[in-house]
Amino acid sequence: MKKMSLNHIKYLLDKYLEGKTSLKEEETLIDFFQSGDIPEELEQYTAEFSHYGISRSEEPGDLVQDTIDSLNLEAKVRSNFYASPWYRVAATFLLVAVAFLSGYGLNVRNDLQNEVHSLKDELLDLKETTVQVMLKGESSHQRIQALVIASQLETVSEELIGNVLATFNEDKSPMVRSVALEFLGMHSQSESVRSVLVNLLQEQDLLSLQIELLWLIQESGDEQLIEELRELLDSTDVSEELKEEIKLVIQNDKTQSI
């Protein structure tokens, strides 16, 4: 790795803490903090990047499988093979073949469709359980991958939405919070998300994330949320920078209403 100036590393750190770094810039930071030659003034950030080297090349699917292994789910499946979804799929298809030969194809097709729907539900539950576990992992990389996987699920439970809200509020990594906000944006029509958007705005300390939240509020078109924003303009706990951004959202809302 080429030796980089300390000023350049500090510059990249500032961007990272604002959630604005590219993947290449994050790779640079990871390599630097794993080099072992860290100035004392930057040692506090070492833990943030130390986990990334464990599995930077892993795909989300690999992380899912690793987490399942850690839960001993594979052992459970092996010990209960004949009750597993895969055994049931094989048995179902065998039943279909026999039934068609016997002239009972229609009923079996209906049974097969019901079985497939049931299996989909079970697999979805398994994926969501895996995501829930990964969200509690010590590695920021693992938590980000959990959020990426969650964003790919066809349906999500209110429990998962609640856990992502907690992650957005409490996670120390700005990058994790940024990805969590992307997930929440996908589910902004959920009442459990919309009802807390303004509260989330007040609890965040990064202006970049606050601006993204304001965008979600504006996109929602919810007049109640806009009214709550107006009330924030009189609050002494809200920074002047944020108030200026709030004014822009309110002004845009008036423009769209005309």
* pLDDT band, residue 33 (cuts 50/70/90): confident
Dist. CA 242–CA 8, nearest whole Å: 28
Do residues 195 and 8 touch, judged by C-beta distance below 8 A?
A: no
Supply the pLDDT for residue 44.
80
Question: Considering the chain, what percentage of its residues have pLDDT values greater than 90?
Answer: 12
Residues 114/88, Cβ–Cβ less than 8 Å? no
Q: Other CB atoms closer than 10 Å to residue 105's CB: what's the count?
A: 14
The pLDDT tens digits of the residues spanning 111-133 come to 666 666 677 777 778 888 888 89
Query: Which residue did the predictor score with more confidence, 230 or 253?
Result: 230
pLDDT of residue 1: 41
The predicted-structure confidence for 69-116, as pLDDT tens digits, reads as follows 555 444 444 444 444 555 555 555 565 555 555 555 555 556 666 666
SS (H, E, C) the chain: CCCCCHHHHHHHHHHHHCCCCCHHHHHHHHHHHCCCCCCHHHHHHHHHHHCHHHCCCCCHHHHHHHHHHHCCHHHHHHHCHHHCHHHHHHHHHHHHHHHHHHCCHHHHHHHHHHHHHHHHHHHHHHHHHHHHHHCCCCCHHHHHHHHHHHHHCCCCCHHHHHHHHHHHHHCCCHHHHHHHHHHHHHCCCCHHHHCCHHHHHHHCCCHHHHHHHHHHHHHHCCHHHHHHHHHHCCCCCCCHHHHHHHHHHHHHHHHHHC
Confidence of residue 257 (pLDDT cuts 50, 70, 90): low
Q: What is the mean pLDDT of the chain?
A: 76
User: Which of 35-39, 43-47, 233-237 shows the highest mean pLDDT?
Assistant: 233-237
Which range scores top for mean pLDDT: 116-130, 178-192, 242-256? Answer: 178-192
| Encoded tokens for 213 | 């939240």
User: What tens digit of pLDDT does each residue of 200-219 get?
Assistant: 888 888 888 888 899 888 88
- pLDDT of the residue at 167: 92
- For residue range 151-178, list pLDDT tens digits in order: 988 888 999 999 999 999 888 888 898 8
Give me the pLDDT at residue 165, please: 93
- The upper half-sphere exposure of residue 4, i.e. CA atoms within 13 Å in the direction of its Cβ, equals 18
In the predicted model, what is the mean pLDDT of residues 33-48? 81
Tell me the pLDDT tens digit for each residue of 228-239.
Answer: 999 999 988 888
Q: Taking the model in full, what pTM does it have?
A: 0.56
For the record, the structure tokens of 136 come out as: 């509690």
